[in-house]
Structures are given as C-alpha cells and as structure tokens.
Amino acid sequence: MTNLVIKKDVEYDSVNHQLTDIYYDGEKAQSKGAIIDIHGGGWFRGNKSKDEDSSIRFVEAGYLVVTPAYRITPAAFYPAPLEDMDHLYEWLKKSDLPFNHDHIGAFGSSAGGNMTVELAIKYGIPIASLSGILDIDKWLSEHEDVVAAEGDTSGFNSTASSNINQTGANDPFYKWFVTNYFNGRTDQYTEATPVHRVTDQTGQMYLANSLNEFVPTSGVLDMAQALTKHQIPYRTRMLTGSRHAKGYLDDVWDDVVGFFAQTL
C-alpha cells in the first residue's frame, strides 16, 4: 500500500471533545467498510496510539479504520466510555469519509473488547473481541474474598502488544481494575454486564481469550451461551498460555480478517 492516509486527532464529540485517528488507503475511491478499533487498558490507561499497528493492518485488508480516544478513569467512570462510543458510531454513520456506510464493524482488546460487544448489542454490527472484559457481575459475586490490588501496569499507555500481566491468572488485579471502572458503585455491576442484554438483533461476534490469562474465560463461555439462545452466529478461539489480548494478535489475525470478510 503506497498511499496510507492518516488523520490524527479528529474531533468526533464536540461536547466532551473526544478525538479519533482515521486510517485509510488514499488510492481507493472507497473502502469496503469501516472498522472501529478500540484500545484496551482497563478503562484507566492506554490511548489510541496503542492501536496504530492493528489499524494499519486493517487498512491493508481493505478497510477504513477509526481509532478513538475515550474518557478513562479517574476523569470519568462507567458508563462514560460507552457513551463516547455511541457518539463515535453516530458521528461515523453521518461522516463523509470514503467507505461503504452500510458496513461498519468493531475490533477491540481487553476493555476495548467489552466496548465492541456493547456496540454489537446496541447496533447489530459484527465485532471481534480479544480478551474482552465480559464477566462482571457473576465473577465479582463469586470472588468476594479476593482483595483487589493494582498490578504491574507499567507500559500500558503506549505499548502496542504489551507483555505486561501476561503471566497467568491475576484475580487481585482483575478485580482492581473492574471495580475501579465503577468508582465504588456496586449497584452498576449487572447493568454493565453485556450478556444480560443480548437480543435477536445482536451483531455476530468473534470472541478470543487465552486459557490461562488474567481475564477469565467465563465471559466468553457465558456470551456464547447467550448468543446460542438468541440464534446469533459467533466464533470463539481459546489459545494456550497466558498471553492477553493483542499479545496473541498474530495468532488470530487471519481468523479476525476472515470473520469481517464474511460478516461486514
């Protein structure tokens, strides 16, 4: 690809002044669809530059990509990041960007994976989630004895495929950043757990997880059960080891591109 166009810091929300980066192939009159690429970081760290690598790879696969920033803690808490994605989706649909506006999908890792699942439920679009934070209310209720503790989060802000927290299950850290998202409000756990809101109009999903990482596999398994109940096609991929989200991106990349080729 000889004409990669990158537009940085385009405002998609004039109220909260949230920005997105845009990537597309300037040699094509129109991309075949758009993919929203949502970065991870536990809703408390990370930024859109983390996903420049995956965004460019999606452009090479034929898509226009929007890679947004969103509000994170401690400046804002649930549901602020999800509201930002609603504004982004509405802005993208109305935009004059060069892509087929009837074809929008979303890709995200970790907290971003949770946010893509929310988009699939709200707007019926296909999504791919790598290590999405999906099991919230049930997991927290089953782990009341776990003492929340912030883990080693150095490198979360800018590393594209961080090796941080890829050493296996880490329940104290998982509990820390999930409860941190709610700023102490335990009454929001159920409403924030997407499995309860799957409907017959939910978008198709690709859900991946490592078998021994700090994000529990229960979220993928519960979501698969709900999607089955509502007859929504989905794909799951469970990987050996403890790598988290984009740590196994190369392993699942062909899966993800194939999924969007069929569903977008």
Percent pLDDT > 90 in the chain is 88
User: Residue 165 has what pLDDT?
Assistant: 56
User: Residue 160 has what pLDDT?
Assistant: 43
Total number of domains in the chain: 1
For 200-235, how does the pLDDT look when each residue is reduced to its tens digit (9 = 90+)?
999 999 999 999 998 999 999 999 999 999 999 999
Q: Give the Cα separation of 225 and 125 in Å (integer).
A: 19
Q: Which range among 39-53, 56-70, 161-175 shows the weakest confidence by mean pLDDT?
A: 161-175
Q: Which residues span the domain enclosing 50? A: 4-263
Answer yes or no: is pLDDT of 251 > 90: yes
| Average pLDDT over all residues of the chain | 93
Q: What angle do CA 50, 216, 144 make, to 5 degrees?
A: 115
For 72-90, how does the pLDDT look when each residue is reduced to its tens digit (9 = 90+)?
999 999 999 999 999 999 9
Q: What is the CATH number of the domain that holds 226?
A: 3.40.50.1820
Answer yes or no: is pLDDT of 156 > 80: no
This prediction's pTM: 0.95
User: Residue 164 has what pLDDT?
Assistant: 53
User: Residue 2 has what pLDDT?
Assistant: 66
pLDDT band, very low/low/confident/very high, at 166 (cuts 50, 70, 90): low
